[in-house]
Amino acid sequence: MNKILKTDFAQYRFLSGLEAEPDGEHAVMISTMADLEENRYRSDLQRIELKTGKIKALTSCGDAKSFAFYGNGVIFPALRSEQDRKKVAEGELLTVFYALDFAGGEATEAFRLPLAGATAKQIRRGLYLISAVHDNARPDFEAMKGEARQKAWEAYREEADYQVVDEAPFWFNGKGFTNKKRNRLYLYDTGKKKLTPLTAPMFDVRACCVSPCGGFIAYAGALVDKLLDMHSGIWLYEIATGETRCLFEPRQYSSVYAMEFLGEKIMFTAEEHNADWMRFAGTNLYSVDCKTAEIRLEIPVAETEDFGGVPGNDCRYGGGHKMKAHDGALYYTAAADHHSILRRWQPGCAAEKLYEDDSFSPDCFDICGERLYAIGFENQDLAEVFRLELKDGKRKRLTSCNRAALKNKYVAAPEKLTFTNREGNVIEGWVLKPIDYDPGKNYPAALDIHGGPRAIFGTCFFHQMQMMASDGVF
């Protein structure tokens, strides 16, 4: 068997964003690969035939990091012309959305918005929920004219070599400087070419969802100024009237990162805080009634599971559905023990697992009819797409996107160890034996520690750890 090398990382395909098409026969996902030469990630859209698992590439330029359905195809944001890239490099706000028909042909421009890094979610044909990062430190050049605008541009560019910091925190891993930057929501009507902001400039949106009827948008977040407020409230926006109603203020709940309409209620994940603020446990599942604003704790599992959680590894990129309502039930992923699981919950009933073995850890999913389609990790393989039957939990792998990447490679199988401390708590751990292991020899060992139930270690493939095993390290 060959060793796993550092450069093998560039051969892996990180799958995410799985969305089933309305026809129930196909799905679209994002496939991302690391580009070591350019020091960036390249993402493209792929279409899957759900019956056979056959994959068709939709894009190939490496710039499609999100998408939304659009007629008989998809739209995705990208900057494909040199002129547009130059505008953004010079500080202009711009996101261009391209349309791509499933029948074939080249991607063509659908519309452009004066926003930075915008993504779209289809509400109904011709109406999209837009999410973008709003920089409150940037002057509103678009509202200026003539000489005043030119002077403001010159002053703004003179400050390009440094960052003004007046908030805490001002940096986030993977995002860089976040000072004065907020996630903001908009509505865009493609027919009227009208962009309408839904949230205030200083309001930071943490999660959102659209009602099945397409008439309401729920979003969670808080108005943040100077100091980060980890609490989140939930607001309900009615599209027909343009009215927004607060269901509860950001005073008690944090970690509201997943939301979904279920009947007359909005389901949401959250931590409910008291004096023990930084306990860093998992999240519970709550509901809030859209009419009465009554909040109810539905599934209290914060000490043993984490809604939307996944085992920690270094071979994933992107997101996808962690929670979805279907036929009166809520389906969701959760981190539990040393893997992630899929559960189904109906009001008044206990949550049930869709399958019993712990060899499969789903990352994201979507549902079509009586079948669930998930991107996940099985045993020591990299991510693939799987089909699960809702009635009996039977699972079948549909794709082999990463089979060639690990062919003839030494992949150490994790061997479980447990330790019981004085308080009776069982601590789990795993050993990866080095390549060509000889029990009569001594080997260097590396101890890697993490807690749980959030960001747990488990048995999923972990490139860095497998690389150490190939280097002869326990």
Q: Give 95-145 pLDDT, tens digit per residue.
A: 999 999 999 889 999 999 999 999 999 999 999 999 999 999 988 888 888
pLDDT higher at 457 or 234: 234
Q: Does residue 215 register a pLDDT over 70?
A: yes
259: nearest Cα among 283, 239, 279: 283
- Cα(224)–Cα(330) distance, rounded to whole angstroms? 31
Q: What is the pLDDT of residues 40-49, one digit of tens each?
A: 999 999 999 9
- Cα(5)–Cα(381) distance, rounded to whole angstroms? 16
pTM: 0.93
Q: How many CB atoms lie within 10 A of CB 211?
A: 17
User: What is 8-64 written as a DSSP string?
Assistant: GGGG--EEEEEEE-TTSSEEEEEEEEEETTTTEEEEEEEEEETTT--EEE---SSB-
Q: What pLDDT is attached to residue 154?
A: 84
Q: Tell me the average pLDDT across 310-318.
A: 89
User: What is 396-445 written as a DSSP string?
Assistant: EE---TTTGGGTTB--PPPEEEEEE-TT-PEEEEEE-PPTT--TTS----
* Secondary structure of residue 290 in the 3-state scheme: coil
Q: Does residue 83 register a pLDDT over 60?
A: yes
Q: Is the peptide bond before 453 cis (omega within 30 degrees of 0)?
A: yes
Q: What average pLDDT is seen over the chain?
A: 92
Asked whether 314 and 461 are in contact (CB, 8 A), the reply is no
220: nearest Cα among 181, 193, 254, 190: 254
Q: For 378, left (φ over 0), alpha (ψ -120 to 50), or beta?
A: beta
∠ at Cα 356 (363, 375), nearest 5°? Answer: 20
**Residues whose CB falls within 8 Å of the CB of residue 373, separated by 6 or more in sequence, listed in order:** 18, 20, 27, 50, 365, 366, 367, 385, 386, 387, 388, 398
Most confident among 28-32, 316-320, 337-341, 391-395 (mean pLDDT): 28-32
